[in-house]
Amino acid sequence: MKPLFIAGPCVIESTEVLDAVAEELARLQQTYQLDLYFKASFDKANRTSLSSFRGPGMERGLQMLDDVRKKYGLRLLTDIHESYQAAPVAEVVDVLQIPAFLCRQTDLLVAAARTGKVVNIKKAQFLSGVDMQYPVEKARESGATEVWLTERGNSFGYNNLVVDFRNISDMLRFTPRVIMDCTHSVQRPGAAGGKTGGNREFVPAMALAAKAFGANGYFFETHPDPDHALSDGPNMIPLAELENVIKSLLV
């Protein structure tokens, strides 16, 4: 199966950031003939602190994502947190993503499945790969024709995650498309004084390890200047480095 790539900034910050990332992703897609989706969130409903930046909201955010599609010809993926968001978001994007901590929320899965769009379910930090059989069944029995699963690590004590790469093989039993979230798996949740920290230097190795275990998709959050990003900066790959990481996975 041809590898799939999901990439983009964590949250919609500005038109300028979206354009910078989308322009580079469009170039990479054309250069390497990638199966690629542009990802950005219109609302980060799970920020550590109430004062953290959440994004422009659904209405404005969907307009900005639609502009990316029209200007750069990229397919789109974004996450939803509430059942009512599924239908309007599906009018704009190609893939609806279920956040890891919501992957057991039946109403959310059913609403996403009923749109007819691809549903990407991120594995919760507290579940095993085998446990993901049931979210997949919920989505398929509710009408989803294509369901992806994404590995993003498991809680390992406080403020830390660890990846059990055996989960990739386990999840391939339930769906042919298993994606490695190379960004969120290197998080240090809540470990940066009211913000999530992380170790972006491990992202390339996470991707290669996942490939060895059979992953056929890769999720990278990327930003022109991660150190000044408004969300998840410590985990994001600098945009200038993304090409080399992608190239390493195409060998």
Percentage of the residues of the chain whose pLDDT score is greater than 70? 97
**Residue 132 in this model has a pLDDT that exceeds 90:** yes
Q: Is the Cβ–Cβ distance between 43 and 57 less than 8 Å?
A: yes
The pLDDT tens digits of the residues spanning 31-47 come to 999 999 999 999 988 76
Domain positions in the chain: 4-249
Instruction: Please provide the CATH number assigned to the domain covering 4-249.
Output: 3.20.20.70
**Residue 205 in this model has a pLDDT that exceeds 80:** yes
The pLDDT tens digits of the residues spanning 3-14 come to 999 999 999 999
* pLDDT at site 190: 65
3-state secondary structure 186-207: HEECCCCCCCCEECHHHHHHHH
Q: Is the Cβ–Cβ distance between 55 and 44 less than 8 Å?
A: yes
Between 19-33, 182-196, 222-236, the lowest mean confidence (pLDDT) is in: 182-196
